[in-house]
């Protein structure tokens, strides 16, 4: 994929960041950027791609901060934010400590919100048996998602 195509995929992503197709374009852009940096392009082109990735990673961080700063998003919104951030990590573009800290915060909020929405309790209020059952279920679902 040419440099312009990577740039275009990022633009489509940012214009569709709030719909479910947005993450598809993010994946295309990040996979192409990773391939471009690893396998081809002049140093100047690789630097441009790296800057594009940083720019859009920062835009995602801004969105996440804005969304979690506007009250308590529901678990579905937090899951979408987690997926956006995880997509950067999956492509080896999450090597920034601020990004990693924000990603951990989003995941923690998502987990806590799921407990409240589905069980009516915060994780700290669960019994040992409830925690063990939920952990097993969560790990099973996470494993299935990684295989997909």
For residue range 36-61, what is the model confidence (pLDDT) as tens digits? 888 777 888 888 999 999 999 999 99
Rounded average pLDDT over 113-120: 80
This prediction's pTM: 0.77
Chain centre distance of CA 7: 19
Most confidently modeled range among 17-21, 83-87, 112-116: 83-87
Residue 16's pLDDT band (cuts 50, 70, 90): very high
- Compute CA distances 119 → 59, 62, 122, 131, whole Å: 33, 30, 8, 11
pLDDT at 146: 67
Rounded average pLDDT over 91-104: 89
CB distance 51 to 3 below 8 Å: no
Judge whether residue 118 has pLDDT over 90. Answer: no
User: How far is Cα 49 from Cα 80, in angstroms, rounded to an integer?
Assistant: 25
pLDDT at 14: 93
Judge whether residue 99 has pLDDT over 80. Answer: yes
Residue 147's pLDDT band (cuts 50, 70, 90): low
Mean pLDDT of the chain: 86
Burial of 104 from C-beta contacts in 10 A (0-12 / 13-18 / 19+):
exposed
Residue 148's pLDDT band (cuts 50, 70, 90): low
pLDDT at 9: 92
19: helix, coil or strand?
coil
């Amino acid at each position: 994929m040419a440099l312009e195509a990577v740039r275009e995929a990022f633009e489509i992503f940012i214009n569709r960041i709030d719909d479910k197709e947005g993450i598809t374009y993010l994946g295309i852009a990040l996979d192409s950027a990773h391939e471009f940096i690893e396998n081809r392009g002049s140093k100047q082109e690789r630097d441009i791609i790296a800057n594009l990735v940083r720019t859009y990673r920062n835009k995602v961080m801004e969105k996440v901060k804005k969304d979690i700063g506007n009250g308590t998003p529901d678990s579905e919104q937090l899951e979408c934010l987690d997926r956006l951030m995880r997509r950067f990590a999956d492509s080896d573009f999450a090597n920034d400590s601020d990004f990693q800290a924000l990603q951990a915060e989003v995941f923690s909020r998502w987990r806590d919100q799921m407990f409240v929405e589905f069980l009516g309790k915060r994780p700290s209020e669960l019994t040992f048996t409830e925690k063990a059952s939920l952990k097993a279920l969560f790990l099973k679902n996470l494993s299935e998602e990684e295989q997909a």
